[in-house]
């Protein structure tokens, strides 16, 4: 820094001297030498003074800066000394800590060996405790009892995941939870809990719990949904289970009633819910199944109408026979009218007229019976058609997806079986009804033929 400042001073002096020389040069060209000498002396003196003043100022600045540098150097030296002292102190502390760590590590290894030696079989025992705690937690999480006794799984989870030795209070809590679960499994208890509706909302309702097996709310089955809540079922089990649930819900304390119990804790109930109802089974038959049902409904309606009409007609005919007066709008009355109209004719003509009268009654008596017989034969054929169609769908699924997933083939097989069942279910009743209607018709025809033969015999005797 001093060299730079000194060089700057020299440059300043040189510049001033150069300026002075430049100013003196034109003065030598003038004629008045006396005036020139005076001006030169004054100007050089002034320049010398300025150079001296600048040098003094620069020396003062140099001295101030040297003093500042010395002060900073002393401070840096003091700070370096302190830092080196601190480093030595920390190095000594680090060596001391490393030595202490090594000694304690050896001591810890000795203590762990002693602990394992003293534990012996207790290590395996505590492993079983953790395993039992985990299994108990899983059972508690799925148990319907947890809807009433909440907050049991947190401590069990902590015990199942601990790596150290369990404390006495933790072992006692595990024992208490197991005993509590066993005791609650034999209870039929009512309490209030949260029930999740089908739309996702939650309501507070009374719960009837039969051990961990069955839970009811408002006479309806509910299932345990976890997190201390129950949930409504999408649909209820068959009516016989619902009636038993109502009896249990309405029963008084101390009264023995038959109650539905699911020993699988909900698995069997879920299977019941997955079973299709009557409408779903019919829907499995597809279009062919609905055609069979329509034919069955029409056939049953026709058969009921025929049986009813023929039964009433047979009663009227029998009443006429009992009264001995064949009159009125009945088959026997019309045959009697034919006999009365042809009473004066010969036997052969009368016989023909009576046969003609009976033949006229036959269409009304046998009306729709051939149709019933046809329907009873067509229904199984339609069922066979649905069977073939369903098997075609099944083989198409096998061709596309293979036989790895049976559910892919279930649709075609269900259609095949359901159409066969529907065909038989429709054909058997219609066939039986056709037999009943045909029997009623033959009964009336037999009465008409017997009465006609009697009329002819009476007419032949008279003549």
Residue 111 forms part of a structural domain: no
Residue 181 forms part of a structural domain: yes
pLDDT at 410: 67
Q: Per-residue pLDDT tens, the chain, 463 aa: give them.
A: 434 444 444 444 444 444 343 333 333 333 444 444 444 445 777 777 777 777 777 777 888 888 788 788 888 888 888 888 899 999 989 999 999 999 999 999 888 888 777 766 666 777 788 888 888 888 888 888 888 888 888 888 888 888 777 888 888 888 898 888 888 888 888 888 888 888 888 888 888 888 888 888 887 888 888 888 888 887 777 666 766 666 666 666 666 767 777 777 777 777 777 777 777 778 878 888 899 999 999 999 999 999 999 988 888 888 888 777 766 677 888 888 888 888 778 888 888 888 888 888 888 888 888 899 999 899 999 988 888 888 887 777 777 777 666 666 666 777 788 888 889 999 999 999 999 999 989 888 888 888 888 888 887 877 6
Strand 188-196 vs strand 229-232: parallel, antiparallel, or unpaired?
A: parallel
Q: For residue 80, which phi and psi values (nearest 5 degrees)?
A: -65, -40
Residue 40 forms part of a structural domain: yes
User: Are 38 and 68 contained in the same domain?
Assistant: yes
- Provide the 3-class DSSP secondary structure of residue 207: strand
Residue 113 forms part of a structural domain: no
pLDDT at 3: 40
DSSP notation for 149-198: S-S-HHHHHHHHH--SPPPHHHHHHHHHHHHHHHHHTT-EEEEEEEEE-T
Residue 120 forms part of a structural domain: no
Residues 6+ apart with CB under 8 A from 263: 213
User: Are 52 and 169 contained in the same domain?
Assistant: no
- Structural domain count of the chain: 4
Strand 202-210 vs strand 214-217: parallel, antiparallel, or unpaired?
A: antiparallel
pLDDT at 200: 82
User: Are 202 and 297 contained in the same domain?
Assistant: no
User: Are 266 and 409 contained in the same domain?
Assistant: no
Q: Considering Cα of 344, then 346, then 347, then 349, what sign does the dihedral take?
A: negative
User: Are 198 and 167 contained in the same domain?
Assistant: no
User: Are 81 and 157 contained in the same domain?
Assistant: no
Residue 396 forms part of a structural domain: yes
Q: pTM of the prediction?
A: 0.53
Residue 221 forms part of a structural domain: yes
Of 252, 273, 294, the last residue of a domain is: 273
Of 69, 95, 121, the last residue of a domain is: 95
| Distance (Å, whole) CA 128 – CA 126 | 5
Residues 6+ apart with CB under 8 A from 111: none
Q: Give the structural domain span for 304.
A: 284-462
pLDDT at 389: 85
For residue 188, give both structure tokens: 């039929």
Of 185, 215, 232, the last residue of a domain is: 185
| Distance (Å, whole) CA 176 – CA 143 | 16
pLDDT at 104: 92
Cβ distance 401 to 271 under 8 Å? no
For residue 226, give both structure tokens: 């976890």
User: Are 160 and 216 contained in the same domain?
Assistant: no
pLDDT at 8: 45
Q: Which residue, 278, 259, 260, is CA-closest to 269? A: 260
User: Are 155 and 42 contained in the same domain?
Assistant: no
User: Are 442 and 293 contained in the same domain?
Assistant: yes
Residue 114 forms part of a structural domain: no
User: Are 342 and 437 contained in the same domain?
Assistant: yes
User: Are 170 and 243 contained in the same domain?
Assistant: no
User: Are 389 and 246 contained in the same domain?
Assistant: no
């Amino acid at each position: 820094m001093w060299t730079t400042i000194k060089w700057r001073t020299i440059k300043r002096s040189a510049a001033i001297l150069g300026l002075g020389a430049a100013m003196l040069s034109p003065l030598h060209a003038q004629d008045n030498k006396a005036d020139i000498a005076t001006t030169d002396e004054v100007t050089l003196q002034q320049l010398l003074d300025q150079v001296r003043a600048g040098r003094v100022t620069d020396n003062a600045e140099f001295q101030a800066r040297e003093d500042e540098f010395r002060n900073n150097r002393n401070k840096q030296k003091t700070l370096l000394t302190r830092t080196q002292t601190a480093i030595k102190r920390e190095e000594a502390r680090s060596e001391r800590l490393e030595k202490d760590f090594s000694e304690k590590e050896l001591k810890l290894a000795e203590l762990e060996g002693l602990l394992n030696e003293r534990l012996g079989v207790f290590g395996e025992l505590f492993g079983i405790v953790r395993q039992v705690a985990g299994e108990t937690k899983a059972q508690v999480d799925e148990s319907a009892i947890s809807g009433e006794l909440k907050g049991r799984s947190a401590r069990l989870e902590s015990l199942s995941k601990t790596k150290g030795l369990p404390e006495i209070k933790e072992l006692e809590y595990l024992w208490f939870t197991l005993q509590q679960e066993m005791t609650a499994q034999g209870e039929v208890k009512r309490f209030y809990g949260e029930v999740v509706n089908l739309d996702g909302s939650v309501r507070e309702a009374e719960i009837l719990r039969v051990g961990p097996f069955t839970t009811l709310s408002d006479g309806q089955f509910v299932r345990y949904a976890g997190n201390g809540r129950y949930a409504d079922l999408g649909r209820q089990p068959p009516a016989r289970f619902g009636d038993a649930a109502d009896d249990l819900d309405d029963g008084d304390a101390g009264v023995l009633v038959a109650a539905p119990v699911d020993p699988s804790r909900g698995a069997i109930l879920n299977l019941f819910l997955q079973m299709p109802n009557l409408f779903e089974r019919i829907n499995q038959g597809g279009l062919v199944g609905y055609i069979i049902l329509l034919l069955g409904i029409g056939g049953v309606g026709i058969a009921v109408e025929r049986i009813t009409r023929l039964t009433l007609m047979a009663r009227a005919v029998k009443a006429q026979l009992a009264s001995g007066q064949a009159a009125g709008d009945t088959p026997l009355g019309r045959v009697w009218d034919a006999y009365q109209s042809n009473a004066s004719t010969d036997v052969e003509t009368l016989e023909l007229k009576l046969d003609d009268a009976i033949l006229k009654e036959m269409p009304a008596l046998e009306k729709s019976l051939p149709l019933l017989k046809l329907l009873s034969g067509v229904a199984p054929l339609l069922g066979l058609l649905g069977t073939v169609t369903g098997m075609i769908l099944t083989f198409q699924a096998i061709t596309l997806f293979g036989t790895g997933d049976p559910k892919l083939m279930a649709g075609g097989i269900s259609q095949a079986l359901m159409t066969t069942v529907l065909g038989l279910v429709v054909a058997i009743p219609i066939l039986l009804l056709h037999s009943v209607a045909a029997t009623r018709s033959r009964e009336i025809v037999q009465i008409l033929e017997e009465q006609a033969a009697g009329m002819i015999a009476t007419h032949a005797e008279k003549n």
